[in-house]
Copies of this chain bind each other. A is one copy, B any other.
Amino acid sequence: MDNILILGGDGYLGWPTAMYLSMKNCKVTVVDNYLRRNLCNQLYIYPLYNIPDLIQRTTLWHKLTGLEIKVVIGNLQNSELMRSLFNGTVKYDWAVTNQFSGIPSAVVHYAEMPSAPYSMIDYKTADFTISNNLITTNNLMWAVKDFSPDTHIVKLGTMGEYGTPNIDIEEGWLEIEHKGRKDKFLYPRQASSLYHTTKIMDTDLLWFGVRMWNLKVTDLMQGPVYGLEIEDIKVKTDENLYTIFNYDEIFGTVINRFIVQAIVGYPLTVYGAGGQTRGYININDTLQCIYLSIKNPSANGELKIYNQFTETFTVKELAERVKSMAGKLGYDCKISLIKNPRKEQENHYYNVNHKGLLDLGLKPHYLTEEALERMFKVVEKFKENIKLDIIFKGIKW
């Protein structure tokens, strides 16, 4: 039985991953310090609906399924807490049996501040993003090196690490020929926010650990995720198990935001020309990718990198699709091209290799009309909760 540690297990992806792996008969432990919830409170950003705390959710999960997800509440910038998860001294904040789960076979590392706009608010949020993301990753790397060098680290990267270069984007690596000689390097990366820059640095850190200490790492360069319902989770009708869903500019991803905007009649906010192309992925496919990565671990001294998305769209195309579905459902939806608050290319070349996860067996959920309609239907249930004033604040950089 796989023994999986999920760092950042309370987040948008962390909690669904915990349930998904629990359903797949993995032993699961989640660790979180409620960073996302705390930042939402500090910034007066409300999710679409309230969610119970982790302990309430794991208690409910256990009641409904009989499965145990152990919980540790704490900050992984604290290196001693991180180390306790590997050397057996951890104290669980919730568990059916308090005995140590054992050295994890894999760690899924989501424990980062995940918002580009948040990282760009000011020097304080920038400092916080850097130390939170890098110190957590460094603590993880050293704990694995010191106590369990065979644990497979599955780290969430982002497609944003690559930026928008004028050459094809490969999966993590590039062979370069220069003046008649050759070598292979990490694909060149330059990101368009400080958050994304910390993810480049994380990759550099873990690649260092792989080279120096033969760690086993998979880095998943993920595109923006959308969606809410987890189809393989049979108890999905219990709304108390839903994952956190933000529709604001700071923590909301673009498709999720557009659907909320369409439902409340807030014009879809397309930044600049709207030609920004990105690779998108349904949350159900994120879960598949994590599972496939765990089942196909890197060897010692190997860093596998996959580009984790299933289809590319421009922001304008996304807005058009959401608008079209909104129209069919009786909403009067407008698109508003607003002055881009970010510094980014609005029309650019974008051709990305993303074959690796498909080769491992990923079965994509595409952004079909059915998928969009289903998302509208779920979000509509919470329509009364939507607050217009948190949709767009225009954080500039």
Contacts and interface: CB of A to CB of B under 8 A. Distances in A.
B135 A130 contact: yes
Contact of A200 (B179, B185, B204): B204
Interface stretch (A52-60, A120-128, A223-231): A120-128
Interface in A191-247: 191-192, 194, 197, 200-201, 204-205, 207-208, 211-213
Taking residues whose C-beta sits less than 8 angstroms from the other chain, chain A's interface range is 35 or more
A197 B207 CA distance: 10
Interface string A97-135: 000000000000000000000000011101100110011
B138 A130 contact: yes
What's the number of copies of this chain in the assembled complex?
2
A176 B179 contact: no
Given A122-B142, A174-B176, A213-B397, 15 more contacts: A126-B138, A130-B138, A134-B134, A166-B183, A167-B179, A167-B182, A167-B183, A181-B349, A186-B190, A188-B188, A190-B208, A191-B208, A194-B208, A197-B204, A197-B208
A116 to B, nearest CB: 12
Nearest to A188: B185
Nearest 6 A/B pairs, CB to CB: A123-B142, A185-B188, A166-B183, A167-B178, A167-B181, A201-B201
Interface of A: 79, 83, 122-124, 126-127, 130-131, 134-135, 138-139, 142-143, 146, 165-168, 174, 176-179, 181-183, 185-186, 188, 190-192, 194, 197, 200-201, 204-205, 207-208, 211-213, 343, 349, 397
Contacts of A174: 176, 178
Contacts of A131: 131, 134-135
Contacts of A211: 190, 343
A124 B192 CA distance: 30
A197 B178 CA distance: 24
8 contacts: A123-B146, A127-B139, A166-B183, A167-B178, A190-B207, A192-B212, A194-B208, A197-B204
A168 B179 contact: yes
Contacts of A181: 166-168, 349
